[in-house]
Amino acid sequence: MRNIGIRRAIAGVAAAALAVGLAACAPAAEVIDLGIDQVDAALPDDVRAQLQAATETAMSATGSPGAIVGVYAPWAGEWVAGLGTTSPEGSAVSADMTIRATAATRSMTCDVLYALVENGTVGVDDAVSEWTDSYPNVKDITLGQLCDGTSGIGEYTDSILARVLATPERVWTAGELAAYGLSKERAFDAGTQFAPSDTGYVLLGIVLERVTGMSLPQLYTKYVFEPLGMSNSRYGATALTDHALGGFYSVRSDDGSLNCASPRDLTALSPSVGAGATGVESTVEDLAIYARALASSARPYDTEDRFADARPAGANQPSWFTADGGAFQAGTLIGQHGSMPGAMTAVYADRETGLAVVVSLSNSRASSAVVRLLAWQLAAIASKAPAADGRTAPESGLPWTAESLAGQIGDLAICS
């Protein structure tokens, strides 16, 4: 039955055209209630001081002029802050600035896939070739494997990085990006290992557009942004708004050392360089909502099956750090982290307590493991926050402490 994919795609184009015509009279989408009772107050001063110190340490380690962070503990309060400056000599960072969602886009692309699975449009076990014949070298790869990061497809970013650094404002097509990654030898046979590739998520986005006849911006809006009330999130090809956290990348000086004081300015980077892998722009507030939605499985298409076949997140990683369904699981946390030229962002929430952490750093030269470790550090600190009046603090179930992660961040530091 699935070999009628081309006809479905054509029908999807017609449906999309009709949808545009009806959009003006369509009722507003109902926002999903995540069922989290967040205390409307600031976290205690000593907790905020610890959170800020940890974030500033990571900023120094990565050479990031600025950072935006949001920590939301339902039983205790929240801390949302802009730290540093928009550039090495820029103005102060504001907490409501736009940030790059980076790899959280991967989860959103998988959200669209699972929404289409839920409504019967596609299946996770559908081969890519059942829906498009443009990429003959991926016949053995399924849509689910693209989402899970088990396709074995090569990475494209290193192939275009020099051009991105030279002309960050250039607009890329998803087809261009996919071609660079698909031209490389497979890292492993599909389905045998976990090693996420931006190329895989770009390709998944291409397929979802062809299946539905809708663009990625339309798909994200319909299945992710509107149902969650994420009014400050978007996907587009143009540069960030003026009210945005800057983006930077430290390059090597003539003596071979990394220039942390004057990094390359990538604030004008076109989000098209990330497509369905890292192309979404958002705010800390919106991404906290998103992380909680992912953790609470509150949407109609959220199923346990999506995360049921979790694999180790990498060699020599602890058993509690796994990946599946376009997201990472770390103990009771679920979310995403990663980087794109100019930014690294982590988005996590706790399945049991509703604790949410979002943090974005403005220099992408270091390993994105730094922003992951920082998010986990912030979660550990916040998990011990005392309860507000009338509330009860949950027992902390995280398999790490803030102190245990500090040394790992130091080991990954590229700047002093």
Q: What gap in Å lies between CA 336 and CA 149, rounded to an integer?
A: 12
Q: What gap in Å lies between CA 256 and CA 258, rounded to an integer?
A: 7
List the one residue out of 85, 35, 83 whose CA is nearest residue 58.
83
* Residue 384, domain member (yes or no): yes
* Residue 8, domain member (yes or no): no
* Residue 24, domain member (yes or no): no
Q: What is the pTM of this model?
A: 0.92
Number of domains in the chain: 1
* Residue 9, domain member (yes or no): no
B/e letters for 87-105, b = 16+ CB within 10 Å, e = fewer, are: bbeeeebebebbbbbbbbb
Sheet holding 234-235, edge to edge: 99-100, 280-282, 234-235
| CATH number of the domain enclosing 331 | 3.40.710.10
Phi, psi of 78, rounded to the nearest 5 degrees: -145, 160
Three-state DSSP state, 243: coil
Q: What gap in Å lies between CA 16 and CA 22, rounded to an integer?
A: 10
Q: Which helix (H) or strand (E) holds 66?
A: strand 66-73
* Residue 328, domain member (yes or no): yes
Q: What gap in Å lies between CA 392 and CA 126, rounded to an integer?
A: 46
Per-position pLDDT tens, the chain of length 416: 333 333 233 334 334 444 444 444 455 668 999 999 999 999 999 999 999 999 999 999 999 999 999 999 999 999 999 999 999 999 999 999 999 999 999 999 999 999 999 999 999 999 999 998 888 789 899 999 999 999 999 999 999 999 999 999 999 999 999 999 999 999 999 999 999 999 999 999 999 999 999 999 999 999 999 999 999 999 976 767 779 999 999 999 988 889 999 999 999 999 999 999 999 999 999 999 999 999 999 999 999 889 989 999 998 999 999 999 999 999 999 999 999 999 999 999 999 999 999 999 999 999 999 999 999 999 999 999 999 999 999 987 899 999 999 999 999 999 97
* Residue 15, domain member (yes or no): no
In this structure, which amino acid lies at residue 112?
V
Q: What gap in Å lies between CA 367 and CA 360, rounded to an integer?
A: 13
Q: What residue numbers bound the domain in which 132 lies?
A: 34-411
Query: Which class for 41: exposed (0-12), middle (13-18), buried (19 or more C-beta within 10 A)?
Result: exposed
Q: What gap in Å lies between CA 373 and CA 402, rounded to an integer?
A: 9
